């Protein structure tokens, strides 16, 4: 069985998708306003990016009068899974243990996070997801 091709998103595309996942749907103006904290991001840039994303079937739109209302067509977990898988394959030659080791040695990990990781590993050992 072949796996679907992972979706690669640029920074702006990912930010737009996060807005759409949160709001479920939004106009270009609403997305632009949410992104408004960034400097020098034109409304037309957001509109152009949404058209490109629609061509890639990441988003779709419906019309409300003259306003396009966009919604996500790809689930957040599908995007994050693809991005993480790509990162692990590219940086760690597919080795999950190398990736986890890297994170544990380069980041501060709280005792609560370590406990949660231990619980996740124990659940996986028992055959859970």
pTM for the full predicted model: 0.74
Q: Are 41 and 50 in contact (CB under 8 A)?
A: no
Beta-bridge mates of residue 95: none
Q: 1-94: what fold?
A: Arc Repressor Mutant, subunit A (1.10.10)
- Retrieve residue 16's tokens: 């737009």
pLDDT on residue 33: 93
Q: What pLDDT, on a 0 to 100 scale, did the predictor assign at position 85?
A: 85
pLDDT averaged over the chain? 88
Q: pLDDT tens for residues 13-31?
A: 999 999 999 999 999 999 9
Residue 62, helix vs strand vs coil: strand
User: Residue 61: which H helix or E strand, with range?
Assistant: strand 59-64
The pLDDT score that the predictor gives to residue 68 is: 97
Q: Note the pLDDT tens digit of each residue in 85-95.
A: 888 988 899 88
């Amino acid at each position: 069985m072949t796996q679907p091709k992972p979706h690669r998103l640029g920074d702006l595309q990912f930010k737009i998708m996060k807005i759409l996942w949160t709001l479920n749907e939004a106009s270009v103006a609403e997305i632009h306003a949410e992104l408004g904290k960034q400097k020098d991001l034109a409304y037309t840039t957001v509109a152009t990016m949404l058209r490109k994303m629609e061509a890639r079937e990441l988003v779709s739109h419906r019309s409300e009068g003259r306003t396009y209302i966009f919604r996500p067509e790809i689930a957040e977990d599908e995007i994050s899974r693809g991005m993480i898988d790509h990162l692990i394959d590219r940086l760690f030659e597919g080795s999950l243990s190398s990736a986890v080791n890297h994170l544990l040695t380069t980041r501060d990990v709280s005792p609560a996070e370590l406990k949660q990781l231990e619980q996740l590993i124990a659940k996986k050992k028992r055959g859970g997801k």
